[in-house]
Amino acid sequence: MDFKLSFKVNEAVYLRDPEASELGKLIIKHSIDLIYNLGFESFTFKKLAVEMGTTEASVYRYFENKHRLLLYIISWYWKYMDFLIDYQLQNITDNKQKLKTIIKMLTHELPISAGGLDYNKKFLNQIVISESSKVYLVKEVTEINKSEVFKPYKELCAKIAAVVSAYNKKYAYPKSLSSTIIEASHHQQFFSQHLPRLTDVTPKNKNEFACLFIENLAFGVLG
């Protein structure tokens, strides 16, 4: 799989579209690298500017603050994941296999060759696992949500929910299960790596643990 991708993120997230200029694309690329290496709390626009050899003012022309920059990165990821799920499911007709494929994608690193992008997909994946909840676990979430900036996440949940409903038409909570699958996949990957005693991970199953657990959880309630 080798192709070029470009996703349009909600205009409310940014001041100037990063996809519309080389500097904007570099801001996203270097932000992913720096947030992965430093963590979101230690990441600043000043450090980003130094890393890029530019000025803080240049970064602020694109984003109001670092929360909006993180929201852009996470939104981009959800659109990317939505695209990859469509790509992977296009030749699968069995609904159980569709759901298992989705779970596998959510619990494993993104394929290195996917998309032909300059963004480091391993770093991007780890940022989503470690930092994605910080875009909505904020006091201003209700106000932020009015601009529909979480729409890519909601659309991804709806897509997974549709597969859940197709597998078990009688199940009453497909959207709740889909968001639980996504969030639990993040938590279990994070915990198994950093706080393993909060999980049942073992040296033998650590690479597949999150996938096996989420499958057990999903099909346990779906029957």
26-69: pLDDT as tens digits? 999 999 999 999 999 999 999 999 999 999 999 999 999 999 99
Q: Exposed, middle or buried by CB within 10 Å (0-12, 13-18, 19+), for 119?
A: buried
pTM of the model: 0.90
181 within 8 A of 160, measured Cβ to Cβ: yes
166 within 8 A of 89, measured Cβ to Cβ: no
Name the band, by pLDDT with cuts 50, 70 and 90, for residue 162: very high
**Rounded to an integer, what distance in angstroms lies between the CA atom of residue 26 and that of residue 128?**
19
Residue 5 φ/ψ, nearest 5 degrees:
-125, 150
pLDDT tens digits for 80-99? Answer: 999 999 999 999 999 999 99
Q: CATH for 11-222?
A: 1.10.357.10
**Rounded to an integer, what distance in angstroms lies between the CA atom of residue 36 and that of residue 21?**
23
HSE (side-chain half, CA atoms, 13 Å) at 204 = 0
**Rounded to an integer, what distance in angstroms lies between the CA atom of residue 176 and that of residue 19?**
33
CA-based nearest residue to 22, from 50, 2, 52: 52
Please state the rounded mean pLDDT for residues 95-105.
Answer: 97
Residue 119 has pLDDT above 50, yes or no: yes
CA distances from 13 to 26, 131, 150, 202, 205 (A): 17, 17, 10, 40, 39
- Domains of the chain by residue range: 11-222
